Chains A and B, each alone.
Chain A
């Protein structure tokens, strides 16, 4: 029996426990880190379009999560809590540092995260996605990024965006429409 019986329905059952352990145990935090680093990195890649900034923001996100792990109360899935930090870090980054992201400059930076044979094509795709997402409403873009790159469920993204689950689906659908109609984004669709 747990004190709060409603709390952890969407978290993997051991993440609340891990988060508690992580307050004092580096290994437990490292385990949470390993589970979630990919989604955080993808999220930042989608926003920044380049490896260097995505790595930088991923580091910042986890350092902040480490600082704040005491305040994680288990009422939201850990992933949603973490992506909230990622989202704030990203907001501060774009606020304090750079104007519209340097897509062209990002061309200079290799993306070793991708496999060599896929690299060129996917880097171009990612850059065009990142650029296109900046041309639609930030909230719709964020909903798309959180649910695709961030790997959040609609319910989790909903908590983060302070919306209902249905509203998040709407944001995603409208965002996809915007991407089609208002940007030159085209991706190869593999069935």
Chain B
């Protein structure tokens, strides 16, 4: 018998059968089409997304990936991976931030707040409005002033404010306003251990600690495929996965947002009281949760250092206090830790050098929108005894106790009475029930007289409340974030709270209504109002990943950095790629990699390198000629893109760009007179003549002298036919065959890249509709081509023909990013923490590799626009790190 290690699942008949079964499952074409449509609708830039220069720099040297960069300009946020751009040799020393070119001196920058106007700011700083406008390049009427913008405040009389030392960090300016601790010199490494899953007894015991003397029920497991316990005696509920992972709600289903009335001392006292009275005896620190008043993290301390997760979140207890400092909810995440040894760590100073030296890996950055989330919540309440109809999803919790009765809830309320037959309903089914609320044994329950499957549908609608005559409506603005939502879907709504806000202005002011929708009426259950809008929330991490640990005792050399691009300015001006020799490199291999002559490899002495004496870890500079671009283009053909930008003053700006097949400038903005004549040719081929320039961001622009429309009569067509995969020129592609037998090769809407088989709408050659452009002389692999803009199944689920609407004529609309100023970053706190990837959703395999809890230097601070960031640097010395990079968790 073969050892299992040498076996392949592919040889297993069961595996094969599973694959066969999997291969037969395909989503319904109508569903695919609908979701694609929904995704396109949801794909809208938001006002709060802004670009930082480093996002742009990522592309600056990449001639291959420039397509559609202008979209990126309006879209990308800081959470994109920071490209590694050292400012050239000598970045280890601080560089001065260049003062903005103002005629007079300047003070520290001022960040524009809500309610500011140019006049108000000028008055506040006792300067003239003209000086303010001139110093910041604002429009003469100040129409482009935006919240979060950073303004230079010129100082009268030429008194130059002291310059603050800043560092170049991925092309943003980073200030260090915190001490770098000199200790400790070593730290422990721990492993996170699997926790003991709860039993009925342990769940009951934990519930008693929370004062719940109730029944134990089975509840959906927090981890996939597991069952947890829920203990309740009515109002309070405790969900228990184990003694370490649990959730407590004092009044389940009722949302609570505090008003920020507690002082830090009151909160700390309430938390100390809670910890003592509930049997939690670990050492902790308290951290107010971001955005939500009354929420605090109780962070466990290991050796005096906080235990933290990814995404700028700590481990521990997440606790919510109401305005009377009563505990409303507790979410527990307390990893079991086991110390495995003490290891040397780098100093905070060395960690900081890694940050400003743009280290390749071993760093993780994340950001989170700052400020407190201002929100008002109204929940539908019904008086006791009154006959009412409530709606909601039904849930069943089987009793975990011998002979116990299951718990049935509707919209999270415990129901009883005439619920015969309800047990046959599907979990989560929408139910409506008439009856009344009453108190029984101190528990509020809903006594059901009659129930039925609800003909209404539960929906959560973003919109605005609006009075028309005697009727009140909820206008759904989710698909149109611009103010004139004349075509918005609207729902009748009644019994609103007296203080519900009307005619709010999305997305700056955001209102969502949950409720049951039937016949264009909504019976609301909860209204949430965010008067300041809702910021983006957590941001993804940056950084190229963390090194895995190597505690074997045998050091493994870390990889040398991949080549990086020199910055275009500041900090010493490198003029080539820095490259560090690794074992196996030869001059020829490096020269081949970089596509340069061997003579262009420059050693530390500035002379061509001695190829006979290459040494591992030796640093080379590789002289790269700037890409040679033609000064002009003549008849450059591409697909025209038109973007419509909304500006802060309500006006619009139209941007034209060309996507060409030329790999050197696949995306170029078009500028010049008379371009509006191109408007009608969007998404169609045009040819342009003019001067070609690249700006500092690597964005190409053609100053259009003239243009031609090669196929003036070319129009989008809806074609009916079927598609099938085929290998063409060694590449798997899709061929589309029309009803009358013509075959085309499908290209993406850019008319450059062939579509791949995975993007087929159907695999059974059933009839589909495609919205296409066929450029007469454009072939690929010998086939005539169609550029595909959208696809739909030709028939819907009931066999009715589908009408595919033309979408290629639509224009992308977005808010104008033109006035964006990159924020600065200020480190306010530097501390050693213990770090592990959030283990809540990833069960720890007792037989798997160890899940390490490792020391990290945490640099915490704010962007100048108020957002928070943290940069974590692996603190263990290099000898304890392995060159392998840890996989990165996706968002979700």
Q: Does B bind A?
A: yes
Pick from B20, B31, B79, B218: contact of A70, CB below 8 A: B79
Inter-chain contacts of A59 with B (CB < 8 A): 35, 38
A183 smallest CB distance to B (angstroms): 11
A57 smallest CB distance to B (angstroms): 11
Contact: A138 with B36, CB < 8 Å?
Answer: no
Question: Is the C-beta of B612 less than 8 angstroms from some C-beta in chain A?
Answer: no
Interface string of B9-53 (1 = CB under 8 A from A): 100111111111110111110011001101110110100000000
Residue from the set A20, A102, A172 with the largest chain B CB neighbour count within 10 Å: A20
A7 smallest CB distance to B (angstroms): 9
A43 smallest CB distance to B (angstroms): 9
- With contacts A3-B62, A17-B65, A85-B891 known, is A30 near B223, CB below 8 A? no
Instruction: Tell me, in angstroms, the Cα distance from A88 to B616 when the chains sit together.
Output: 42
Contact: B24 with A94, CB < 8 Å?
Answer: no
Pick from B17, B223, B889: contact of A138, CB below 8 A: B223
Question: Is the C-beta of B173 less than 8 angstroms from some C-beta in chain A?
Answer: no
Contact: A62 with B39, CB < 8 Å?
Answer: yes
Question: Is the C-beta of B502 less than 8 angstroms from some C-beta in chain A?
Answer: no
- With contacts A162-B842, A180-B14 known, is A17 near B848, CB below 8 A? no
Interface string of A48-63 (1 = CB under 8 A from B): 0001001100110011
Interface string of B853-892 (1 = CB under 8 A from A): 0000000000000000000000000000000011111111
Contact: A138 with B24, CB < 8 Å?
Answer: no
A110 smallest CB distance to B (angstroms): 10
Contact: A5 with B562, CB < 8 Å?
Answer: yes
Instruction: Tell me, in angstroms, the Cα distance from A23 to B65 when the chains sit together.
Output: 13
Interface string of B540-572 (1 = CB under 8 A from A): 110011000000000000000011110000000
Inter-chain contacts of B110 with A (CB < 8 A): none
Inter-chain contacts of A3 with B (CB < 8 A): 58, 61-62, 83, 562-565
Inter-chain contacts of B753 with A (CB < 8 A): 14, 18
Interface string of B71-90 (1 = CB under 8 A from A): 11111110111010000000
Pick from A63, A138, A149: contact of B224, CB below 8 A: A138
Contact: A70 with B756, CB < 8 Å?
Answer: no
Name A163's closest neighbour in chain B (CB-CB).
Answer: B848
Contact: A28 with B68, CB < 8 Å?
Answer: yes
Question: Is the C-beta of A167 less than 8 angstroms from some C-beta in chain B?
Answer: yes
Instruction: Tell me, in angstroms, the Cα distance from A173 to B5 when the chains sit together.
Output: 9
Instruction: Tell me, in angstroms, the Cα distance from A191 to B75 when the chains sit together.
Output: 50
A: residues with CB less than 8 A from B are 1-6, 12, 14, 16-18, 20-21, 23-31, 33-38, 41-42, 45-47, 51, 54-55, 58-59, 62-64, 66-68, 70-73, 75-76, 81-82, 84-85, 87-92, 94-100, 102, 105, 108, 112-115, 118, 122, 125-126, 129, 134, 138-139, 141-142, 144, 147-149, 151, 159-160, 162-163, 166-167, 169-170, 172-174, 176, 179-180, 185, 187-190
- Given A88-B841, A163-B849, 19 new contacts (CB under 8 A): A3-B562, A3-B564, A18-B753, A24-B75, A37-B35, A37-B36, A41-B25, A59-B38, A66-B39, A70-B80, A92-B841, A113-B26, A139-B848, A142-B224, A163-B848, A167-B849, A172-B15, A173-B4, A180-B14
Can you give 23 A-B contacts (C-beta < 8 A)?
A: A4-B562, A16-B65, A17-B64, A21-B71, A25-B68, A26-B39, A26-B40, A29-B40, A31-B748, A66-B42, A70-B75, A70-B77, A71-B539, A99-B220, A102-B427, A105-B426, A129-B21, A147-B9, A148-B19, A149-B18, A173-B12, A179-B14, A190-B20
